[in-house]
Amino acid sequence: MRLRRFIYTATMYLLTPVILYRLAIRGLRYPEYFQRWQERFGFFADPNIHDSIWVHAVSMGEVNAAMPLIDALMRRYPEAPFVITTVTPTGSERVRRVYGDRVFNVYLPYDLPASIRRFLDRVRPRLAVVMETEIWPNLFFVCRARQIPLIVANARLSEKSFRGYGPVRPLAESALASARYVAAQSATDAGRLRDLGAEPERLGIFGNLKYDMSVPPELGDQARAMRTQWGARRPVWIAASTHEGEEEAVLEAHAAILHRFPDALLLLVPRHPERFKPVVQECREAGLATRTRSEDRMASSDTQCFVVDTLGELLRFYAAADVAFVGGSLVPIGGHNVLEPAALAVPVVVGPQTFNFVEITASMIEAGAALRVADARELGATVIDLLANAPLRKRLGAAGQAAFEREQGGVLRTLEVVGKVLDGPVTAIAR
């Protein structure tokens, strides 16, 4: 194992120029990647904190999933300083917008031993909570060496990710075995995580923390105000978290929808900020009357496509839609979170590629809360059917909301594990 770790670490150091090049390429499209790059090597001003509770969430999606747990931890441990790390600028921006100076936010350093040690020397955690699928061998090993208990929360592992470990799998197995506890989202995830090295007595099925998200009480009023501004009776659908190659299908579907409903409005929300401008251009080249959130603030009565090119507002626009298509599912990305529209009783449509959310999507479809489509043509036809059938929309929305509420409770189960980790020995806790 020492030899494997040496080879892995040497490879990481050799790949550092490539990683920096990739960071620079991203920075050309999204300048925030050029900022705070020193943090990615563990260089930042010492915040002078001790015994912190550290939560790591890669990007905005993981931050949103972690928020109910972070809020609960803050209530349970009000005296503890909190450190929230991310990898992407969108995740960092979300943390800073929601929590401000209540937490210390930096980027997680690359998985280089010296960088990790510098990071830990400055934040001095008493507990590490790593969200979902972030298994970095050196990070886990250094935490173990420093006796920092590490919990993998909301843990999931797709079949694709499981196979992707390849030659570093023995190292990943050893790293995961060093975690104090692994709280899996589902039985399928737990099985793969056990095969990857999680100790059975420190592995449990906790459900998905995303079910514990809270819906802001003012959301309904905000949605009604928006719909009044752009036309209260207009049919409105949203294509959320779309990826490259997916907008073309969405616009093709919208063309069919406009043929049936000439006043229909599409709310288009690209997943990544660096693609905002290209997507706006694509909409206008398709001949659609297009406005944007950043420049125009709101759609007007004659807007055919409204591009939401801002961050942190997706829930608000979900609430204002009649039907929600959740992106990343018409292209081989693996899909995104279907629970947000479900929590708002908005009917959900997904494409065929949902391997990142297999069990959640399957349970929603089985509950009659979501519909699956194969391509752009079927997407347009399905949205047309839903927009034309208010009772069907209501039935799907109610089923989704009921399924969402039925699965809540993962945060409380995870809090129980945190308490056991901090206060005593940990035994298996099953849902």
Q: Are both 278 and 361 inside the same structural domain? A: yes
Residue 81 lies in a domain: yes
188 and 130, same structural domain? yes
Q: Nearest-CA neighbor of 39 among 80, 91, 77? A: 91
In a domain, 73, yes or no: yes
Q: What are the residues whose beta carbons fall under 8 Å from the beta carbon of 79, sequence distance 6 or more?
A: none
Q: pLDDT tens for residues 180-236?
A: 999 999 999 999 999 999 999 999 999 999 999 888 889 999 999 999 999 989 999
Same domain, 395 and 413: no
The per-residue pLDDT for range 296-325, each reduced to its tens digit, is 999 999 999 999 999 889 999 999 999 999
Assigned domain for 310 exists = yes
Tokens linked to 108: 């997680």
59 and 196 fall within a common domain: yes
CB-based burial, 240-264: b 16+ in 10 Å, e otherwise: bbbbeebbebbbbbbebbbeebeeb
Calpha distance 237→397 (Å, rounded): 14
In a domain, 6, yes or no: no
DSSP designation for 217:
T
Please check whether residues 95 and 148 belong to one and the same domain.
yes
212 in any annotated domain: no
Alpha-carbon dihedral 45, 50, 51, 54, rounded to 10 degrees: -10
Same domain, 314 and 350: yes
**18-57 burial: b if 16+ Cβ within 10 Å, else e:** eeeeeeeebbeebeebeeeeebbbbebeeeeeeebbbbbb
Type of residue at 126: R
> Angle 419-425-429 (CA atoms, 0-180°, nearest 5)?
65
Helix axes 89-99, 60-76, angle to 10 degrees: 30
Same domain? 203 vs 238: no
Share of the chain above pLDDT 70, in %: 98
Mode of pairing for the β-strands spanning 82-86 and 104-107: parallel
If asked whether residues 419 and 391 sit together in one domain, one would say no
Q: Are residues 302 and 337 in the same domain?
A: yes
Residue 166, pLDDT score: 80
Please tell me whether residues 197 and 237 are part of one structural domain: no
What are 113-161's pLDDT values in tens digits? 999 999 999 999 999 999 998 899 999 999 999 999 999 999 999 888 8
Whether residue 12 lies inside any domain: the answer is no
Residues 346 and 418 in one domain: no
Question: How far apart (Å, rounded) are the C-alpha atoms in residues 343 and 417?
Answer: 26
Residues 6+ apart with CB under 8 A from 252: 376, 377, 380
**pTM, full prediction:** 0.86
Supply the CATH number for residue 333's domain. 3.40.50.2000
Q: Is residue 169 part of a domain?
A: yes
Give the residue among 97, 146, 129 at the shortest CA–CA distance from 414.
Answer: 129
| Pair of tokens at residue 356 | 């990142």
Cα 209 to Cα 319: distance, rounded to the nearest angstrom: 21
Active site residues: 62
Residue 29 within a domain: yes
Please give the tally of structural domains in the chain. Answer: 2
Place of tokens 């040690």: 117
351 and 271 belong to one structural domain: yes
CATH assignment of the domain containing 65: 3.40.50.11720
Domain hosting 394: range is: 219-406
Instruction: Let me know: does 349 contact 250? Beta carbons within 8 Å.
Output: no
